[in-house]
């Protein structure tokens, strides 16, 4: 390819060497190439210019009517307009930087091509541009030549990628960017040149990402035996980006919010996200790039596996338990509602209108859980052997889910046919468990029924193979041996649930143990078991499996919150929660538990967690009141403990993003959340002081968000001072937009609308849209679900405006309506009205059309 970059009129010359796939029969003489929004100048076949009648151009294709059945060369000259590209797919400009986004189908907006993932090709790319505008020119692979032209007025660079790849992994970048550089010595001793390119002046903020990259490269060698394969690895950070980041071969492109970090500007969660996304995109080099997907239905093959790998990496780098808790929270908050609503689809979908709509929590997070279940079923060693086989057998290929699973069947010597149903069947299984102890027989019976709820496209569900890790906890807190009455001992603690109903009889139990089920969340299911409160209190105090100890706390809190909601809706006052508070207290004071874990213990289930539990007739205002009430009760019951933790967890000294210091800040901030809800003068003072004395963004942002939660004179002061301090930092100011969008106060809708007109807001920058509109729709249940419908209207109008600018982002924001059918009748009617308004609009993009119609049908 030869690309002459120009803001309004970029010329792309592409020379394709094409041969028929010898394994597919020649059915027609015509060649269909995908292409959109291209201006075609010339087509040449084997050096002969084609006449107008020899080809046909439509909005989506270039058809060359007759091509030879021997190998031939097709040359195309086309033009594109990067400046006009606001959909951010294909070639576009972000703050003056030329960049590309090709996954899933953006390459066809750069040139005509067979834009599908099973067509692999070797690319050589020559880029040129005005030297002032784009002194830095990058593409995939290794740099083989560079220089200047036109007496130093223009720059050019030639990049060659030796690895065959599908077009979605193509990338190019041109701009005036500043690099930071480092090197990495691979396991076989090769030196790789690493660079991260950022806006001038932001270099110092890229070091954490570089550090994370090197740790990810080492980890992939040690854990999976995977070595990097080019001489160079480049990352570019841009401000306008639809997603988080993209794994283009040798040239990852990132949303700059996932690269740039300093203690003053980025929170601990941002540091953590950078580490995991840098790792994720790097890991794709093997799971996605070297082995790619045969078609887009196999998207989970690369995404689920790579999410599994990045989760494992984060677990190894930080605390495994805390990581697992965070991942499970996220799965339940995003994937479970998706699976329970009108957008439910299998991990491997069977149809789509717009593939961009299928980069979902189901394809990502649920599918990572499927990989984790395979690892649980096989055990660590056989799992690694299966991965090795997959890399060896399919390197250089475009593979399928069946190919992947077959490797584990072979390496593990296990039949995974029933397991395959997980990929094909939507919906979250429900495990209904009953536990009985028989003192005379010294035995316990565990009955497990799997209930498979219907989803929009299918109602008849097959039973799944569900690995359920369990423990039986004795009165002294020790795990008892799992011996079945037939003598079999379950050594790894994993029960294989394969039928609709199964019963296990455990023998040799002189006293009644407490069952600890689904340890480590060994399968993505809902679990119910009718344990008395005292069993939960026992597990909360004594379960040796720390994940399940947290789960017990979470279940206990959920139970309590549901009781409060019930009392409130009956017009009663409920004083529940003090036993829960005291059970929690012991853990909070336990110094053997790391602070990050104690912080997770203290965080109540979210308001949407409670809405999900209720599943119907949801009144978000009531849930909000219940949530506030329990938070206050915690502050009143164990306030002393919380206050001393607040002082004890003060990190002091300089900032370090490491997991241990971040954990102390997390616990201190979780404590601050609870204490601030009490709202006494001292509590307000503490919060104001937390804001004004903050020396890092973690504390500053947390205080700002809390101040916006309960408006006072301090709130407006902090909002104004934050703005003054950060108005020239385009990333930090997103926190300012988001904090205001989260306020449960009645003035928020008006405030958000006003902020859409703020000079620093831009509907063309997805980060801004996500910070303001996305936060409002997804993190402000009370105001989004206002009883007068004003929240729905606001979001619907924004979706319609965005539809014309950036359909991919519009469709994502629209997803915030996904649980509308679970609402109480009044709100449900208003939400439906807003959806119908969107649906009626002429000129809907495919992206928005698909989501809104499913939302109204399902």
Interface residue with ligand BES, options 257, 284, 469, 665 (CB under 6 A): 284
* Window 288-347: residues binding ligand BES (CB under 6 A): 303, 307
Q: Residue 397 gets which letter from DSSP?
A: S
Point out which span in 2-10, 194-202, 243-251, 338-346 binds ligand BES (CB under 6 A). 243-251
Element (H, E) at 813: helix 807-814
* Residue 246 in the binding site for ligand BES (CB under 6 A): yes
Whole-number minimum distance, CB 280 to ligand BES, in Å?
A: 4
Report d(CA 380, CA 372) in Å as an integer.
10
Q: DSSP string covering 732-786, please? A: HHHHHHHHHHT--STTHHHHHHHHTTSTT--TTSHHHHIIIIIHHHHH-HHHHT-
**Among the candidate windows 16-24, 244-252, 326-334, 533-541, which touches ligand BES by CB under 6 A?**
244-252
**How many whole angstroms separate alpha carbon 372 and alpha carbon 704?**
38
Q: Other CB atoms closer than 10 Å to residue 39's CB: what's the count?
A: 12
Quick one: tokens of 454?
Answer: 């219907």
User: Which range, of 7-15, 157-165, 297-305, 484-492, touches Zn ion by CB under 5 A?
Assistant: 297-305
Edge-first strand listing for the sheet containing 154-165: 48-49, 39-45, 72-80, 10-18, 2-4, 121-130, 154-165, 142-149
According to the binding rule CB under 6 A, does residue 280 interact with ligand BES? yes
C-alpha to C-alpha distance for 642 and 545, rounded to whole angstroms: 25
Among 359, 430, 714, 846, binds ligand BES (CB under 6 A): 359
Q: Which of 36, 281, 338, 824 is catalytic?
A: 281
User: 352 — phi, psi (to 5°)?
Assistant: -155, 155
Instruction: Write out the binding residues for ligand BES, residues 53-112 only, by CB under 6 A.
Output: 103-104
Residues 300-329 that bind Zn ion (CB under 5 A): 303, 306
* 408: Cβ contacts below 8 Å, ≥ 6 apart: 374, 378, 382, 383, 386, 414, 416
CB of 199 or CB of 354, closer to ligand BES: 354
The answer to whether residues 607 and 623 touch, using CB atoms and an 8 Å cutoff, is: yes
Closest CB to ligand BES among residues 281, 600: 281
Residue 173 near residue 215 (C-beta atoms within 8 A): no
Query: Is 209 within 8 Å of 235 (Cβ atoms)?
Result: yes
Among ligand BES, Zn ion, none, what does residue 795 contact (CB within 5–8 Å per kind)?
A: none
Helix axes 659-678, 681-693, angle to 10 degrees: 150
Is residue 822 a contact point for ligand BES (CB under 6 A)? no
Q: Which lies closer to ligand BES via its Cβ, residue 338 or residue 535? A: 338
Q: In angstroms, rounded to a whole number, what is the distance separating the alpha carbons of residues 379 and 304? A: 19
| Residue 289: CB minimum distance to ligand BES, A | 10
Residue 294 site contact among Zn ion, ligand BES, none (CB < 5 to 8 Å, cut-off depends on kind): none
Span interacting with ligand BES, options 10-18, 171-179, 280-288, 665-673, rule CB under 6 A: 280-288
Site for ligand BES (CB under 6 A): which residue of 162, 164, 244, 456?
244
245 near ligand BES, rule: CB under 6 A: yes
| Residue from 426, 428, 422 nearest 328 by CA | 428
Of 243, 382, 433, 525, the one binding ligand BES (CB under 6 A) is 243
Q: How far is the CB of 300 from Zn ion (least distance, A)?
A: 10
C-beta closer to ligand BES: residue 243 or 411: 243
User: Which residue, 90 or 304, is less far from Zn ion as judged by CB?
Assistant: 304
Pick from ligand BES, Zn ion, none: which does 99 bind, CB < 5 to 8 A by kind? none
Give yes or no: 281 in active site.
yes
Find, among 303, 283, 307, the residue nearest to 293 by Cα.
303
**Contact at 8 Å (CB) between 123 and 192?**
no
Residue 664 contacts ligand BES per CB under 6 A: no
The dihedral built from the CA positions of residue 420, 421, 422 and 424, taken in this order, carries a sign that is positive
Q: Which is nearer to Zn ion, 36 or 247 (CB)?
A: 247
Q: In the bound complex, what is the minimum distance in angstroms from residue 438's beta carbon to ligand BES?
A: 48
CB 235 within 8 A of CB 173: no
CB of 140 to ligand BES, least distance (A): 15
Q: Which two tokens stand for residue 412?
A: 């593990």
Minimum distance, C-beta of residue 757 to ligand BES, in the bound complex (Å): 28
Shortest Å distance, C-beta 287 to Zn ion: 9
Residue 274 touches which member of ligand BES, Zn ion, none, C-beta under 5-8 Å by kind: none
CB neighbour class for 510 (10 Å; exposed up to 12, middle 13-18, buried from 19) = exposed
Of 369 and 543, nearer to ligand BES (C-beta) is: 369
CB-CB contact of 304 with 349 (8 Å):
no
Nearest distance in Å: CB 834, Zn ion: 32
**Which residue has 């960049």 as its token pair?**
99
Question: Residue 127: which H helix or E strand, with range?
Answer: strand 121-130
Nearer to ligand BES, 104 or 677 (CB): 104
CA dihedral 532, 534, 537, 543 (to 10 degrees): -80
Which one of 192-200, 278-286, 605-613, 751-759 is the stretch in contact with ligand BES (CB under 6 A)? 278-286
Q: Return the structure tokens found at 779.
A: 């993190």
CA nearest to 398, candidates 118, 111, 703, 749: 118
What's the min distance (Å) between Cβ of 94 and ligand BES? 15
Indicate the residue among 278 and 614 with the shorter CB distance to Zn ion: 278
CB of 277: closest distance to ligand BES in angstroms? Answer: 4
Binding mask 103-132 for ligand BES (x = CB under 6 A): xx----------------------------
Using CB under 5 A, list all residues that contact Zn ion. 303, 306
Residues annotated catalytic, as ranges: 281
Using CB under 6 A, list all residues that contact ligand BES. 103-104, 243-247, 277, 280-281, 284, 303, 307, 356, 359, 364
């Amino acid at each position: 390819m030869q690309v002459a970059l120009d803001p309004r009129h970029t010329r792309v010359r592409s020379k394709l060497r094409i041969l028929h796939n010898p394994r597919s029969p020649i059915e027609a003489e015509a060649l269909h190439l995908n292409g959109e929004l291209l201006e075609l100048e010339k087509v040449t076949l084997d050096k002969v210019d084609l006449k107008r009648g020899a080809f046909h151009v439509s909005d989506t294709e270039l058809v060359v009517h007759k091509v030879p059945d021997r190998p031939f060369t097709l040359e195309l000259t086309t033009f594109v307009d990067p400046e006009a590209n606001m959909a951010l797919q294909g070639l576009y400009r972000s703050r003056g930087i030329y960049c590309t986004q090709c996954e899933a189908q953006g390459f066809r907006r750069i040139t005509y091509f067979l834009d599908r993932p099973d067509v692999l090709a070797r690319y050589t790319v020559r880029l040129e541009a005005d030297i002032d505008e784009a002194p830095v020119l990058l593409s995939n692979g290794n740099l083989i030549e560079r220089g200047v032209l036109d007496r130093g007025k223009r720059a050019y660079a030639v990049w060659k990628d030796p690895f065959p790849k599908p077009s979605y992994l193509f990338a190019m970048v041109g701009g005036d960017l500043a690099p930071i550089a480092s090197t990495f010595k691979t396991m076989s001793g090769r030196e790789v040149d690493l660079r991260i390119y950022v806006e001038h002046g932001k270099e110092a903020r890229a070091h954490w990402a570089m550090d994370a990259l090197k740790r990810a490269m080492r980890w992939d060698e040690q854990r999976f035996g995977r070595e990097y394969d080019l001489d160079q690895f480049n990352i570019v950070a841009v401000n306008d980006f639809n997603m988080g980041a993209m794994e283009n071969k040798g040239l990852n492109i990132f949303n700059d919010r996932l690269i740039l970090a300093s203690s003053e500007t980025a929170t601990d969660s941002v540091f953590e996200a950078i580490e995991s996304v840098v790792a994720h995109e790097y890991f794709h080099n093997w799971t996605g790039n070297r082995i790619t997907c045969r078609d887009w239905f196999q998207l989970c093959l690369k995404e689920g596996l790579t999410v599994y790998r990045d989760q494992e990496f984060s677990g190894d780098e930080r605390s495994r338990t805390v990581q697992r808790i965070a991942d499970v929270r996220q799965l339940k908050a995003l994937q479970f509602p998706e699976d329970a609503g009108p957008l439910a689809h299998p991990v491997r979908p069977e149809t789509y209108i717009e593939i961009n709509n299928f980069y979902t929590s189901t394809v990502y997070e649920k599918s990572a859980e499927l990989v984790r279940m395979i690892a649980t079923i096989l055990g660590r060693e056989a799992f690694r052997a299966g991965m090795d086989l997959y890399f060896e057998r399919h390197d250089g290929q475009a593979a399928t889910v069946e190919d992947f699973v077959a490797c584990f069947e072979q390496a593990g010597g296990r039949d995974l046919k029933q397991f395959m149903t997980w990929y094909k069947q939507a919906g979250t299984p429900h495990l209904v468990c009953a536990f009985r102890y028989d003192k005379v027989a010294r035995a316990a019976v565990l009955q497990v029924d799997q209930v498979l709820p219907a989803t929009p496209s299918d109602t008849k569900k097959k039973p799944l193979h569900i690995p359920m890790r369990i423990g039986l906890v004795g009165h002294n807190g020790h795990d008892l041996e799992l011996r079945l009455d037939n003598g079999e001992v379950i050594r790894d603690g994993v029960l294989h649930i394969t039928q609709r109903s199964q019963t296990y009889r455990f023998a040799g139990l002189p006293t009644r143990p407490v069952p600890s089920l689904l340890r480590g969340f060994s399968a993505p299911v809902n679990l119910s078991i009718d344990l008395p409160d005292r069993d939960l209190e026992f597990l909360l105090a004594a379960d040796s499996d720390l994940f399940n100890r947290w789960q017990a706390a979470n279940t206990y809190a959920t139970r309590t919150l549901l009781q409060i909601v019930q009392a409130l809706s009956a017009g009663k006052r409920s004083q529940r929660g003090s036993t829960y508070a005291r059970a929690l207290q012991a853990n909070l004071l336990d110094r053997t538990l790391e602070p990050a874990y104690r912080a997770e213990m203290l965080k109540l289930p979210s308001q949407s967690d409670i809405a999900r539990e209720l599943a119907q007739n949801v009144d978000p205002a009531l849930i909000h009141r219940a949530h506030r009430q329990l938070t206050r009760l915690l502050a009143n019951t164990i306030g002393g403990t919380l206050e001393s933790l607040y002082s004890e967890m003060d990190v002091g000294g300089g900032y370090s993003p490491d997991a241990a210091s971040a954990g102390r800040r997390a616990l201190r901030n979780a404590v601050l959340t609870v204490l601030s809800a009490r709202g006494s003068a001292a509590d307000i003072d503490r919060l104001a002081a937390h804001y004004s004395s903050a020396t890092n963004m973690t504390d500053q942002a947390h205080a700002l968000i809390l101040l916006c939660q309960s408006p006072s004179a301090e709130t407006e002061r902090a909002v104004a001072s934050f703005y003054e301090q950060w108005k020239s930092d385009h990333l930090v100011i997103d926190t300012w937009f988001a904090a205001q969008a989260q306020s449960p106060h009645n003035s928020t809708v008006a405030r958000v609308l006003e902020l859409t007109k703020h000079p620093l807001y831009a509907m063309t920058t997805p980060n801004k849209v996500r910070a303001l509109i996305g936060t409002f729709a997804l993190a402000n249940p009370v105001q989004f679900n206002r009883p007068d419908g004003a929240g729905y209207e606001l979001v619907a109008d924004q979706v319609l405006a965005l539809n014309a600018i950036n359909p991919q982002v519009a469709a994502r924001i629209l997803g915030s309506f996904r649980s509308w059918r679970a609402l109480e009748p009044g709100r449900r009617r208003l939400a439906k009205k807003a959806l119908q308004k969107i649906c009626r609009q002429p000129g809907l993009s495919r992206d928005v059309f698909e989501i809104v119609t499913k939302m109204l049908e399902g």
